[in-house]
Amino acid sequence: MPAAATACSPRDRLLDAATELFATRGYQAIGLRDLASHLGLRAGSLYHHIENKQCLLFELIESTLADLVFDTKRCMKGARTPEERLQRFVQAFVRFNLAHVHRVQLVTREYVNLSHEQQLQIDALNRSHASILSGIIASECARDGRQGGAIGLVTHAVIGMLYGHAQWRGVQVSEQGLTQALITFVTGIIESAKNNSNMA
């Protein structure tokens, strides 16, 4: 039956509820009892699905970044030029952020609540995402005969801006308008870096 096929599993409901509560009220402010109460369950029953609260947070952040990397690579398929690849990279991020606001908030706000070992795994996923962008920037520099010594710095600046745009309060703009604005800003950052000899 269609209803049964689309029904969320208890574990999916748990992950969705945890994402919402951690993002809106903060990881530290939400205990497992709060999460269980939100789901209409007893706290002890949550351990059938998770090891502990920190492992739950790690799973949420890890899956978010893995999905972001996957969506970005899928969006960039068929892009032929550095310009088109850059446009699709930004477009993929904007679409993902708008579709998964709470999940992205966990990535930016709750990383500090992970263990050192968990942070190392998240760092690896972040590097995987950033490497896509740095490859685009390197192609831009090579095409113009530049060495691109500041590729790492520019990559971090652009990634920071993309995550930061979620904090633009009170800005009313369409997805297309936001994407185009960010592409313009990103292109400006890259061009400025290429023309700045002090960053080489």
Q: What is the CATH number of the domain that holds 29?
A: 1.10.10.60
pLDDT given at position 165 = 83
- Each residue's pLDDT tens digit, 99-147: 999 999 999 999 999 999 999 999 999 999 999 999 999 988 777 666 5
| Residue closest to 132 by CA, chosen among 65, 42, 62 | 65
pLDDT tens readout for residues 44-98? 788 878 889 999 999 999 999 999 999 999 999 999 899 999 999 999 999 999 9
- Tell me the whole-structure pTM to 2 decimals: 0.89
Its sign, for the CA torsion 157, 158, 162, 163, is negative
The reply to whether 33 and 123 lie within a common domain is no
Whether residue 93 is found in the same domain as residue 108: yes
DSSP, res 172: -
Listed residue (195, 190, 141) closest to 161, CA to CA: 190
> Do 37 and 85 fall within a single domain?
no
Residue for token digits 């799973």?
Answer: 59
Structural domain for 5, as ranges: 1-50
| 162 and 114 in a common domain | yes
Tokens for 98, please give them.
Answer: 């708008």
pLDDT for res 47: 80
Please tell me the least confidently modeled range out of 36-40, 129-133, 169-173.
Answer: 169-173
Other beta carbons within 10 Å of 164? 10
- Whether residue 178 sits in one domain with residue 102: yes
Q: Does one domain contain both 90 and 159?
A: yes
Q: Given this model, what pLDDT does residue 50 score? A: 85
Give the number of domains in the chain: 2
The band of 171, judged by pLDDT with boundaries at 50, 70 and 90, is: confident
Token pair for 62: 């890890």
d(CA 197, CA 179): 29
